[in-house]
Amino acid sequence: MFAPHPPEVRYRAIAMLRAGQRNSEVASALGIPAGTIAHWRHNDRARRNELPGRRQAQCFRCLQLDVDQVAYAYLLGLYLGDGHIAHHRRCCSLSIYCDNKWPGLILAAQTAIDRVLPGSTSNLVPQPGCTEVKRYSQHWPCLFPQHGKGMKHLRIVQLASWQREMVEAHPWPFIRGLIHSDGCRITNWTVRTVAGQPKRYEYPRYMFSNESTDIKGLFTWALDMVGVAWKVANRKNISVARKEAVALMDLHVGRKRLPPTGRPFLLCGAHGSCWSSRGLPGASRR
């Protein structure tokens, strides 16, 4: 029966190959078939992105690389709201679902994915009423350890320590990602009688809607970090309605609108967009 070679033998062979020795020389010195040595060499070059014509995804967790933390915090918010990781035979895929009404959000999701995992580009898959921003890689479970079987609201969703550090350093992109996925900015209104005449009053608010208690907790935790007052509207919804809190959200998240040309939402601050929202009685979405 075939027995795998011990790891120390493979490490020694790779060290000899990196030192410049030929496959046949290493095979002869270690008593291992030349085909096995060639296979080890190929995999080693692939991991180091040295194969001609091939671009390997640069996983910052596996390779201990620097990462665009703003892009990661934003993508983490998108993933917790409208993201999904699927397992395939050879790799995994990350999908972010974006409403077709807001093409700027599609660009923002693409940009964040490509900055977090450089090496190739994401794909746009048309779906009914939305666009699936999709990227294949075996590294997505490394980057989003919250991934697991079943719906997010039926399991525990917690941030790893390194994720919490990133969000603590960049809370606004994280909040923006959550609002862009499962939130909206709405204008509530009411009619009151003033001097015998009906008068309409309008006031804006932000709403975040999610079934997961853990994800709602992460949203309010981030709001507390930036000093935004919030309250629980009902079982699913978190409301930001105080005037000063809405002004702060407008500055860093913003209304539903397209960003300036060539500038994706995750870099635009007040030009961010909101979608995937549900209307409320006496409310209009903007």
d(CA 248, CA 252): 7
Q: What is the CATH number of the domain that holds 110?
A: 3.10.28.10
pLDDT tens profile 10-38: 899 999 999 989 888 999 999 999 889 99
Do 265 and 171 share a structural domain? yes
Please give the pLDDT value at position 134. 93
How many angstroms separate the CA atoms of 31 and 95, rounded?
A: 46
Q: What is the rounded average pLDDT of the residues 207-234?
A: 95
* Residue 223 maps to a domain: yes
Encode pLDDT of 164-209 as tens digits: 999 999 999 999 999 999 998 988 877 888 888 888 878 899 999 9
Side chain identity, residue 120: S
Q: Which residue has the higher pLDDT, 181 or 90?
A: 181
pLDDT reported for residue 115 = 92
Residues 180, 276, single domain; the answer is: yes
Residue 279 is predicted with a pLDDT of 31
Instruction: Tell me 234's DSSP state.
Output: S
The pLDDT mean for the chain works out to 83
How far separated are the first and last CA of the chain, in Å rounded? Answer: 67
Among the residue ranges 57-61, 91-95, 198-202, 268-272, the one predicted with the least confidence is 268-272
Q: Give 75: exposed, middle or buried? Use CB within 10 Å, 0-12, 13-18, 19+.
A: buried
- 68 pLDDT more than 80: yes
The reply to whether 150 and 171 lie within a common domain is: no
Q: Domain check: are 148 and 202 in the same one? A: no
Q: Residue 90's domain spans which residues?
A: 69-155
Reduce the DSSP state of residue 107 to 3 states and report it: helix
Burial of 94: CB neighbours in 10 Å, binned 0-12, 13-18, 19+: buried
55 domain-assigned: no
Strands (E), 128-251: 130-137, 183-194, 197-209, 231-232, 237-240
Instruction: Give the model confidence (pLDDT) of 102-157 as tens digits.
Output: 888 889 999 999 999 887 788 899 999 899 999 998 889 989 998 888 788 878 88
Of 222, 278, 276, whose CA–CA distance to 249 is shortest?
222
| 175 and 151 within one domain | no
pLDDT in tens, 231-246: 999 999 999 999 999 9
Q: What pLDDT does residue 275 have?
A: 31
Both tokens of residue 157? 């969703």
Instruction: Give the Cα separation of 138 and 125 in Å (integer).
Output: 19
